[in-house]
Structure 1
Amino acid sequence: MSSRSLRVLALAASALLSATALAACGKSDDAASASSEASAIRLGYFPNITHAPALIGVKNGLFQQALGNTKLEPKTFNAGPAAIEALFSGAIDATYIGPNPAINGWATSKGTALKIIAGSTSGGAGLVVKQGINTPADLKGKKIATPQLGNTQDVALRAWLKSNGLNADQQGGGDVSILPQDNATALQAFAQGAIDGAWVPEPNLSRMIIESKGKLLVDEKTLWPNGQFVTTHLIVKQEFLKKYPETVKKLLAGHLAAVKYIKTDNAGAQKAANEQLAALSGKPLKDEILAASFKNLTFTIDPIASSLYTSAQHAQDVGLLKPVDLKGIYDLGPLNDLLKADGQPAISDAAASS
């Protein structure tokens, strides 16, 4: 992919900012322009293939290229709650994160802490089980892992079990025993036969199938309209968005360039993401796992808002979330400004597809 192509969206952002700067002149305008540009932006993301746009944006310098004089300060996290805590405390300004931690952060702050500003990843999750488990009824009395109580995959499993007439309480009891445990523990437990399955995201889903001979009982794509549901999106601290809107637009321009790179040079994108994973964790994914994970994921700037609202309802239905008003959780204005400048259609934050 040419450097010119990678700069298209960043230049679109610059054009928008230039138009704003040319609207007035004089020292007062210079002061206003300076105040709307942050000297640095602290961006959170996870060393996980579902955060591939972030991995690539950092590795290939796409964020820094779009940000110009604003310094990118990337920070990594292993779980959504830790990233939300960092956002709350002011340790980071924006982060890639899953839907349920964003919902919880919105609810906890009563709608004051964050805004979802773009989509990043769809799909790539499901229920992997031992051979011989073929129906929901076969799960009675079985032990199934999820990454964390109340996280996105945990909610998905509980909602799916309920829809199939099975119950599971938060203490590990019920028809199916749900055991929240981190991904590394679940991978080992499944390989050793200590659990009967797990509802997990990529690359753990592919690892359980390829390395431990598991079978995919439920591909979560099949549970959603058009097979689309949000796995990862990009959020920003509201205070930062209000103070530095142009910096946020430039961050988004880098994000758009990363997603575009995945679509136009998938092999190069896989290589860059895996190299960044290796740099962060000390161990790259095996080529077979990497390829399977990328095939099972869709990288998109659309946050698939309707699936977020449905996920929140699922969490309420299984007793893991109190009723919450999500009105205003999205601010897609900056994203749609960039898309308009690039001749692309706007993206909606509607609760349901028309």
Structure 2
Amino acid sequence: MKKMFLLLTIFFTFLGILAGCGTEKSSGDVSKKVVIGYFPNINHVPAMVAKDKGFYEKELGDGTKVEYKTFPDGSSFMTALKTGDIDAGLVGPGPAMNNYMTGADVKIIGGGSTGGTVVLASKESGVKSVEDFAGKSFITPAVGCTHDVQVETFLGEHGIESQRIGGTMKHVTGNPAQYANMLKSGKVDIAVAPEPWAAVIQQETGANIIIDHDEISFGETLPASVLVASGKSVKENPDTIQKIVDAHKEATSFIEENPEEAKEITIKDVKEVTGQELSKEVVDQAWERIGFTYKVDSDAVQAFADSSYELKFLKEKPEFTDLIDKQFID
């Protein structure tokens, strides 16, 4: 009898251990991770502010771990979104559109900013106006990126084209943080720069602004950055997406209400990511060329896409009825 009692005791103790292990595993399964992507430029300040203030963690709750990844261009960002390395984030509308047109599962779920694209020429280039562009070299972050489409649309209106479509201008790509050095060294003549790098170029090289942020095509209407997620996430996890958008909206409101603190956050974040410390003067100058909003102008996005098609960045005429999903911001 005693032996039977001992066996039963061991048996139920073992069950208790199993149950305890099961609880720990279950608890581990409940924890979630969300990865947010963005670029280290002023068009992406909402992500920097949300990161610094913990807005994503606050909205997502339930112990959700939030990680951040930064990218030098839209191509690498979109690759990360497609592979699931990031869940959502800010990117230029150009890469979002281009990838959507090639079958990528992407949705624009909010706006990020407007403006901030400036075209500058080095003093040594001899470029004083758009009429001097023929035969010169220009740099953008990537082929077909937002800034590339903006400048090539503007140039087309002045009868100038890149070598890619039969013109004389040589196009190269590179990291905007390196544009100042490339202009100074003579590697390129003209830089199409997102802020704050346009202001950095002005301060470090004395380059001339040839096309300002409010003169370049779509400069004041097009979202310079958009908040995106995968269509699968929008469909399967709408509550999570809504919380991400709510955090983004909170960050946008913070920027409007606390511009000086938002600038400090920007300077700190850009230094952490790029190793370059922006001066307050540079950030103040760049800030004047940018607007922050979580709204999306669908008509401006479609007009921009039509121009991308005409410039042969897109193989098919675009229709973006399903690309933009406003349910989370309306």
Q: Same fold (TM over 0.5)?
A: yes
The residue that corresponds to 2:18 in the other structure is none
2:49 matches 1:59: no
Cα displacement string for residues 260-318 of structure 1 (whole angstroms, at most 9, x for unaligned residues): 01100100111112222223333331211111112211111112222221221111111
Give the Å deviation of 1:223.
4.4
Equivalence map 1:98-113=2 (5 Å):
98-109=92-103, 113=105
**CA distance, structure 2, for counterparts of residue 145 and residue 91 of structure 1:** 28
What SS class does the counterpart of residue 72 from structure 2 fall into? coil
Q: Does 1:126 align with 2:93?
A: no
Counterpart residue identity of residue 310, structure 1: A
User: 1:126-145 counterparts in 2 under 5 A?
Assistant: 126-131=118-123, 133-145=127-139
Contact 1:114 1:329 in 2 (8 A): yes
| Residue aligned with 1:166, SS | coil
Q: Does 1:233 align with 2:226?
A: yes
Q: What is the CA-CA distance between 1:163 and the residue it aligns to?
A: 0.9
Identity %: 26
Distance 1:200 1:226 in 2: 12
What is the aligned-residue RMSD (CA, Å)? 2.1
Contact 1:221-1:228 at 8 Å conserved across structures: no
1:163-242 equivalences under 5 Å are 163-170=157-164, 174-223=167-216, 227-242=220-235
Aligned 8 A contact 1:56 1:276 in 2: no
2: distance between equivalents of 1:226 and 1:185? Answer: 23
Opposite residue 265 of structure 1, the aligned amino acid is: N
Q: Measure the CA separation in 1 of the matches of 2:38 and 2:307.
A: 25
Alpha-carbon distance between aligned partners in 2 of 1:192 and 1:169, rounded to the nearest angstrom:
22
Q: Helix, strand or coil: the match of 1:216?
A: strand
Verify the 8 A CA contact 1:98 1:232 in the aligned structure 2: yes
Equivalence for 1:293: 286
The answer on 1:82 being equivalent to 2:76 is yes
In structure 2, the residue corresponding to 1:211 is in which secondary structure?
Answer: helix
Partner residue in 2 for 1:12:
none
Which secondary structure state, in structure 1, belongs to the residue aligned with residue 67 of structure 2? strand
1:319 is aligned to 312
Counterpart amino acid of residue 280 in structure 1 = V
Matched, 1:263 2:271: no
Cα gap change, 1:102 to 1:271, in 2 (>3 Å): same
**Matched residues, number:** 297
User: Over residues 220-272 of structure 1, what are the superposed CA-to-partner deviations in whole Å (9 max), with x where a residue is unaligned?
Assistant: 42345793221101001111111211111111111111110110010011111
CA shift, 1:51, in A, is 0.7
| 2:324 is the alignment partner of 1:330 | yes
Q: 1:130 to 1:225 in 2, by over 3 A?
A: closer
TM-score of the two chains, using structure 1 as the length reference? 0.78
Residue 80 of structure 2 aligns with an amino acid whose one-letter code is A
> Out of 98, 102, 108, which is 1:116 matched to?
108
For 2:67 and 2:319, the matched residues in 1 are separated by: 32
SS in structure 2 of the partner of residue 170 of structure 1: helix
Structure 2 unpaired stretches of 5+: 1-29
SS in structure 1 of the partner of residue 205 of structure 2 = coil
**1:32-75 CA distance string (max 9 Å, x none):** xxxxx983322111222221000110011111112111332222
- What is the identity, as a one-letter code, of the residue corresponding to 2:214? K
Give the partner amino acid of 1:296. Answer: R
Verify the 8 A CA contact 1:38 1:247 in the aligned structure 2: no
Which has more radius of gyration? 2
CA contact (8 A) 1:191 1:208 kept: no
